Amino acid sequence: MPPFSVPHPLGTDQFGRDVLSLIVFGARRSLLVALLSAAASMATGVFVGLTAGYAGGLLDTIAMRLVDVWMAVPAVLLSIAVCAALGPSLPTLILSVSAALAPRYARLLRGHALSLRTRGFVEAARVSGSSHTAVVVKHVLPHCTGPILVLGTIGTGWAILIGSALSFLGFGVEGDRPDWAYLIAQGRSYLAMAWWTVTFPGLAISAFVVATNLLGDSLRRSLDPRGAGR
């Protein structure tokens, strides 16, 4: 059934199911993958970046060279390789997406840690006898929360794009628990006859990505004193 009718405002799919209901149901899986992947990549990248930037020296050099190699592999290709090696499942999907995004956080936090490690309040904390872990957690990390929040918000949009690409290819999604990309994959064979089965799930993905980018840009302006007037 075409869209814009009273019982089915977004139409029905090839099986007669309401597309709006499918999009609402699929949002749970899509958002779950995006949020968990963004959180896992943030935790990994923040740990690597802060450790390398604060320690400096040989550890920083080795860690950043590994991150450079990591980032040289395209994100989607890396995610596909992880899914192909471990087998399609929801945990594998989350792991593969987070692995593709973690280097971005590592690079960002490494730069901030390098700039903060020589600041007076950090050196004062070290001189007072605080352990390196305490200095990083209590003094370095709080000054990085702004950039972490901004990149984390935008990274959630990246996560849903990569996760949707993998789901479209058949990784990590069960047929009875579809997400937005799986709905697109199902409806692509009927695109000429029922364009709405592909268009509306695609618009849902696009709207989510645009919303996360707008939120990230708003956070950046709010948290950056130099950009407060922009």
pLDDT for position 174:
59
Q: Examine the pLDDT at 1 and tell me if it is beyond 60.
A: yes
**Angle, helix 57-72 to helix 19-55, in steps of 10 degrees:** 150
CA gap 26, 21 in Å, rounded? 8
pLDDT for position 176:
59
Q: Examine the pLDDT at 211 and tell me if it is beyond 80.
A: yes
Q: Examine the pLDDT at 230 and tell me if it is beyond 50.
A: no
Nearest to 150 by CA among 81, 56, 214: 214
Instruction: pLDDT band for 43, please (50, 70, 90 cuts).
Output: very high
Nearest to 31 by CA among 187, 213, 157: 157
CATH fold of the domain at 23-225: MetI-like fold (1.10.3720)
Three-state secondary-structure class, residue 18:
strand
Least confident of 143-147, 152-156, 157-161: 143-147
CA gap 219, 227 in Å, rounded? 11
The residue to which tokens 């918000």 are assigned: 153
Q: Examine the pLDDT at 59 and tell me if it is beyond 80.
A: yes
CA gap 155, 38 in Å, rounded? 6
CA gap 146, 152 in Å, rounded? 10
State the CB neighbour count (10 A cutoff) for residue 187.
Answer: 23
Q: What is the mean pLDDT of residues 108-119?
A: 86
- Token pair for residue 152? 């984390």
Q: What is the mean pLDDT of residues 124-129?
A: 84
pLDDT for position 172:
64
